[in-house]
Amino acid sequence: MKEKNKPVLEIGSHFELEIERMAHEGQGIGKIGEFTVFVEGAIAGESCVAEIKKAKKKYAIAEAIQISKPSEERCSPPCKYINQCGGCDLQHMTYKGQLRFKTLKVSDSLRRIGHINAEVLDTIGMEQPWYYRNKSQYPVGLQNGKPIIGFYKKRSHDIVDLDNCMIQHPIANSIMLAAKEWIKKYNISVYDETKHEGLLRHVGARVGFNSKEVMVILTVNGRKIPFADKLIEMLKGRIPGFKSLIFNVNTQKTNIIMGKENILLYGEPNIFEYLCDTKFQISPVSFFQVNSIQAEVLYSKVMEYANIGKDETVIDVYCGTGTITLLLAKRAKKAYGIEIVSQAVEDAKVNAAINNIENTEFIKGAAEKILPEMAKAGIRPDVIVTDPPRSGCEQKALEVIAEISPKRIVYVSCNPATLARDLRYLEDNGYITQKVQPIDMFPQTSHVECVTLMSKVEK
């Protein structure tokens, strides 16, 4: 028996909605009776006509098809692919509105998930929030028998064929177009993920914003690629700073983009980039912040919050390729980096050598195992910096950090939800959250990075 007055949300049906607030992924949220409706393309404070796309027992997903009362933060998206490509979800908001949304997103997560009462500063944005990505990975596919390159539609693996992306570096877009021409001219086999057949899976680019060096990466379902010499000649003629062409082998039936083996086809195996007056080596698989301009803002804020002195010791947990560790080392007596990925540790050691930074030590292993060993050896850091993946810190790592009891903890996070969870644990174990600084590393999207300062509570 149907519940009385409960609306029937049929797929394709239309409803007039008042948008009360924003979801963390950027959708507007409205109500139809008891149903919560997440509306793609709607902004808090707007009235809109929404078309139901998916209906569950307690919520629905819809798309705004007409804006009856627009928000002052609404603008016309400049990208012609905005209704197709799933890469950007906030282009319909002014940049000022995007920054405000991200500040509120962080504040809401801290309050609702972590019950954290701390100062959340205004999100630091970019002067030019376009063409900022230094790393691009374009999937390659077939459409009506013809090769296409672009990005996936939202929540699908259907490729939108692009000739430009407004958040990728312009050189990366030029590489994409050159690759598309090469594929068509030389009839290069294209991968079909449903059949696990075909050769070329992805075209990748890594661009040094400051060094101007460029690496191109072809991810291939095989170990040979025809007419690579023709592509090299095209890239040499069209791409300023072209330094490297890498052949990445991925023969697995998987959605993971890159395989483990890289073969050098042209030039050097690495490129370099400069951040905060420090030189970093970048390999095809190195982790490196995708927004070089905002990375300098992020790292400067980490240095400010760490406030490390020349007689102090710092440990960088989840150090990756050592970017933050090396910047800290320039101010500290000693800086240690802990990282479980062996290749990242080797890259960190190379970066230390390149910059002649000798007061560092990089250790491979899980933080929850390495930190107690360091404590037993008498290494007591004044500051701990941690920059974990989106899933946040491992519980055991948090336990050990609290037991070691540094004077300050600087927590770098790309996920406000797991940040709030971890701050709650640390606050329950002797720390107070002083301030949180959101930084817009990913304009036009709902993602946001944060730098948080925690201090030891004096007893």
- For position 431, what pLDDT does the model report? 97
105 or 155, higher pLDDT: 105
- For position 6, what pLDDT does the model report? 56
CA-based nearest residue to 246, from 208, 205, 209: 205
Same domain as 434, residue 379: yes
What the block records as the tokens of 83 is: 């209704």
Calculate mean pLDDT across residues 4-26. 85
Q: Which residues are catalytic?
A: 414
Same domain as 171, residue 258: yes
Same domain as 179, residue 143: yes
Same domain as 397, residue 353: yes
Same domain as 141, residue 106: no
**Does residue 79 form part of some domain?**
no
Overall number of domains in the chain: 3
The CATH code of the domain that includes 184 is 2.40.50.1070
Of the residues 269, 301, 328, the one at which a domain ends: 269
Calculate mean pLDDT across residues 383-394. 95
C-alpha span between 234 and 175 (Å, rounded): 9
- For position 1, what pLDDT does the model report? 41
Within 379-448, strands assigned E span 383-386, 408-413, 431-439
- For position 29, what pLDDT does the model report? 97
C-alpha span between 304 and 314 (Å, rounded): 14
Does the structure show a pLDDT above 70 at 8? no
Domain that holds residue 144: 135-269
Confidence of residue 7 (pLDDT cuts 50, 70, 90): low
For the stretch 150-186, pLDDT in tens is: 999 887 889 999 999 999 999 999 999 999 999 999 9
**Does residue 20 form part of some domain?**
yes
Same domain as 1, residue 49: yes
**Does residue 94 form part of some domain?**
no
The CATH code of the domain that includes 50 is 2.40.50.140
Calculate mean pLDDT across residues 28-46. 93
**Does residue 279 form part of some domain?**
no
- For position 314, what pLDDT does the model report? 98
**Does residue 200 form part of some domain?**
yes
Amino acid letter, 267: G
C-alpha span between 453 and 308 (Å, rounded): 13
**Does residue 6 form part of some domain?**
yes
C-alpha span between 362 and 232 (Å, rounded): 37
What the block records as the tokens of 309 is: 């002195």
For the stretch 193-243, pLDDT in tens is: 889 999 999 999 999 999 999 999 999 999 889 999 999 999 999 999 999
Does the structure show a pLDDT above 60 at 4? no
Same domain as 246, residue 152: yes
Same domain as 119, residue 69: no
Q: How far is CA 207 from the centre of its chain?
A: 16
Residue 397 near residue 317 (C-beta atoms within 8 A): yes
CA-based nearest residue to 419, from 441, 448, 455: 448
Confidence of residue 36 (pLDDT cuts 50, 70, 90): very high
Same domain as 115, residue 152: no
Burial classification of residue 145, based on how many CB atoms lie within 10 Å of its CB (0-12 exposed, 13-18 middle, 19 or more buried): exposed
Burial classification of residue 385, based on how many CB atoms lie within 10 Å of its CB (0-12 exposed, 13-18 middle, 19 or more buried): buried
Share of the chain above pLDDT 70, in %: 98
Same domain as 296, residue 160: no
Same domain as 168, residue 68: no
- For position 43, what pLDDT does the model report? 97
H or E segment and range at residue 294: helix 292-306
Same domain as 146, residue 44: no
**CA dihedral sign, ordered 110, 125, 437, 372:** positive
Of the residues 269, 300, 323, the one at which a domain ends: 269
- Maximum alpha-carbon separation in the chain: 75
